[in-house]
Amino acid sequence: MKADELRQKYLEFFKSKGHSVIASASLIPENDPTVLFTTAGMHPLVPYLLGAKHPVGNRLTDVQKCVRTGDIDEVGDASHLTFFEMLGNWSLGDYFKNEMIPWSYEFLTKELGISPDRLAVSVFEGDEDCPRDVESAKLWEKCGIAKERIFFLPKKNNWWGPAGITGPCGPDTEMFIDTGKPKCCDSCSPACDCGKYLEIWNDVFMQYNKNADGKYEPLAQKNVDTGMGLERTICVLQGKKSVYETDVFKGALDLLEKLSGLKYGASDEITKAMRIISDHTRTAVFILGDDNGVTPSNTDQGYVLRRLIRRAVRFGRKLNLDKGALSALAEVYIEQYKHVYGELDRNKDKIIKELTAEEEKFAKTLEQGIKEFEKVVFFLEKAGQKKISGKLAFKLYDTFGFPIEITEELAKEKGMDVDKEGFDKAFEEHQQISHAGAEQKFKGGLADHSVETARLHTATHLLHAALRKVLGVEVGQKGSNITAERLRFDFNFGRPMTREELIEVENIVNEYIKADAPIICEEKSYADAKADGAIGLFENKYGEQVKVYTMGTFSKEICGGPHAAHTGELGRFKIIKEQSSSSGVRRIKAILEY
Ligand code: SER
């Protein structure tokens, strides 16, 4: 079975069980300051898991673009990826275990044709927070899973979430393919990583909310949240040892073989380099090609993107790839995915342009930087030292464009490490915004749906409306990011705004706030929303209902919320910065003062 077929089968199956198919959300979370990228299908759905009404109903299914960079250093082995697609389905206070477990069984055995004796499942063994999940175990048995293939495991293995410090969570039941390998020991189970069991799907029974005191309170609404990794499942179904050997990466690896004249699999080094280049370029294509996509920079998502592209360029050097290899690879991916993710085709020019520019920029200094690095290593080795100074790491960063992680990786290859503290110090001295911001956000949790972010979100709509009033209705949103402290809004406009225009926009937003208009949310079809003059991006693939937020007479926008109840709650709106974001796109940062 090919990847396209699995995606289709999953959505069709859940459609036949009364689910509405929704479009993948952006890879860049719109209103969640605590994470850089969307990491799971449930992530954009948090407000609905917490009880907000979803416009298309309480049974949803989709395929979500996800980026997880926590394991970026592992990429190159058989299974790690920084981008993946997650197939998922949700019950928002509707069905629960009784339905979900038999459906999972039906999908795996009937639709995917996996024999029940190749399956194993795990369920929660229970602890002081939540009882043993005998119910799920019984349901699996009733479906036809033999008792000895049902494993009771602790919270460490069979509990999902919350994604952050607080939020929806619950026990889960995970499904595994038994590879047929012998047991590694008497207590061999899906909890050991001996490779006998490969996880393919996870059904989470979200029935708790972990509160700030660390207590698990029952959720008003019991949800189901499931996630199936597309690449991993395809790998199992195609009987391959590595995700890179499935049809997902065939086009990319064929091209890399052609461009380098080398064979995938010829040596460990070639295999690793080809995997890293294929993975990182694919992720870069999806980040650049997102409608809210970012461009390479030294902070946040832009920094991750830069790091991915530069790491791909560095490994490209090992294969003697010429300039332009990454953009050629990008073309392969755009062709491969555009029927599912139309945005890649729409944003193709941007993807190629930015990728080429970043590739060229780094290729220019890479050689010199490596020479500099090797010169220093030569002397250090002679002196029997094993630490690269923070000063050198900073020079490689500042002069040669080496992300610190690349220097660390180069050092590791030589059996050395880097004085990270020294690097950070040098960095601070140069008063640049550190990548540490980005790293902290990986560790951070999910979805700060606080009053403050809701207000800033409302302010974003008002700003959008004011900009259109002052600069013209051709101006529209290109991106939005909200932290608890500030909003950031990107919009298409060809030149810097004048001081007068900025003051006018600020004044208009403050008038809207003063008017203290109620904020009204209505659900309607996308066509009706557009006919009513609502603005806002929406991928209308499946004829969904949408939410329209109306604020007085000044703003009407399609959006998922949440928002303040009245504009008067917002305090004083203040623009703190107007700057360029990328070519033809300006960026405003603004705050609310009380
Ligand atoms: N949220 C769960 C996961 O990420 C199930 O979708 O595995």
The per-residue b/e assignment along 571-586, b for 16 or more CB within 10 angstroms, e otherwise, is eebebeebeebbeeeb
Helix (H), strand (E) at residue 133: none
- Contact 588/577 with Cβ under 8 angstroms? yes
The pLDDT tens digits of the residues spanning 113-137 come to: 999 999 999 999 999 888 999 999 9
Mutation to probe ligand 1, out of 64, 169, 202, 233 (largest number of atoms < 8 A from CB): 202
Mutation to probe ligand 1, out of 48, 63, 86 (largest number of atoms < 8 A from CB): 86
Q: Round to whole Å and give the CA distance between 204 and 166.
A: 16
Indicate which atom in ligand 1 lies nearest the CA of residue 40. Answer: 4
Task: Give the 3-state secondary structure of residue 36.
Answer: coil
In angstroms, what is the span from residue 225 Cα to ligand 1's centroid? Answer: 7
* DSSP 8-state class, residue 510: H
**pTM, full prediction:** 0.76
Q: Rounded to whole angstroms, what are the CA distances from 24 to 36, 231, 270, 473, 542? A: 17, 16, 34, 27, 11
- Contact 509/552 with Cβ under 8 angstroms? no
Other beta carbons within 10 Å of 1: 15
Which residue lies with its CA nearest to atom 3 of ligand 1? Answer: 227
Q: Round to whole Å and give the CA distance between 45 and 225.
A: 10
What per-residue confidence (pLDDT) applies to 24?
95
The amino acid at residue 33 is: P
- 202 ligand 1 Cβ < 6 A: yes
The per-residue b/e assignment along 86-109, b for 16 or more CB within 10 angstroms, e otherwise, is bbbbbbbbbbbbebbbebbbebbb
**CA-atom Rg of the chain in angstroms:** 25
What per-residue confidence (pLDDT) applies to 443?
32
Q: Round to whole Å and give the CA distance between 198 and 233.
A: 9
> What integer is the mean pLDDT of 25-30?
89
In angstroms, what is the span from residue 500 Cα to ligand 1's centroid? Answer: 48
Other beta carbons within 10 Å of 323: 13
> What integer is the mean pLDDT of 317-332?
95
- 225 ligand 1 Cβ < 6 A: yes
The pLDDT tens digits of the residues spanning 367-413 come to: 889 998 999 899 888 888 899 999 889 989 888 889 898 999 999 99
Task: Give the 3-state secondary structure of residue 196.
Answer: coil
Residue whose C-alpha is closest to residue 69's, from 25, 44, 39: 39
How much is the mean pLDDT over the chain? Answer: 90
In angstroms, what is the span from residue 204 Cα to ligand 1's centroid? Answer: 7
* DSSP 8-state class, residue 110: I
Q: Would the pLDDT of 354 be above 80?
A: yes
Q: What angle do CA 347, 67, 585 make, to 5 degrees?
A: 35
Alpha helix ranges (H) inside 300-435: 300-318, 325-337, 342-346, 348-382, 390-398, 404-413, 420-429
- Contact 252/281 with Cβ under 8 angstroms? yes
Mutation to probe ligand 1, out of 10, 100, 160 (largest number of atoms < 8 A from CB): 160
In angstroms, what is the span from residue 479 Cα to ligand 1's centroid? Answer: 26
In angstroms, what is the span from residue 144 Cα to ligand 1's centroid? Answer: 24
Other beta carbons within 10 Å of 263: 12
Which residue lies with its CA nearest to atom 6 of ligand 1? Answer: 227
Q: Would the pLDDT of 139 be above 90?
A: yes
The pLDDT tens digits of the residues spanning 62-78 come to: 999 999 988 888 899 99
Which residue lies with its CA nearest to atom 2 of ligand 1? Answer: 227
What per-residue confidence (pLDDT) applies to 529?
84
Residue whose C-alpha is closest to residue 567's, from 546, 589, 550: 550
Spatial neighbors of 235 by CB under 8 A, at least 6 apart, are 79, 242, 243, 245, 246
Indicate which atom in ligand 1 lies nearest the CA of residue 227. Answer: 6
Indicate which atom in ligand 1 lies nearest the CA of residue 41. Answer: 6
Lowest mean pLDDT among 148-157, 434-443, 445-454, 552-561: 434-443
Q: Round to whole Å and give the CA distance between 128 and 133.
A: 13
- The answer to whether the peptide bond before residue 190 is cis (omega within 30 degrees of 0) is no
The pLDDT tens digits of the residues spanning 483-541 come to: 878 999 999 999 999 999 999 999 999 999 999 988 998 888 877 888 888 887 665 44
Q: Rounded to whole angstroms, what are the CA distances from 551 to 210, 526, 572? A: 33, 18, 17
Which residue lies with its CA nearest to atom 7 of ligand 1? Answer: 227
- 41 ligand 1 Cβ < 6 A: yes
The amino acid at residue 582 is: S
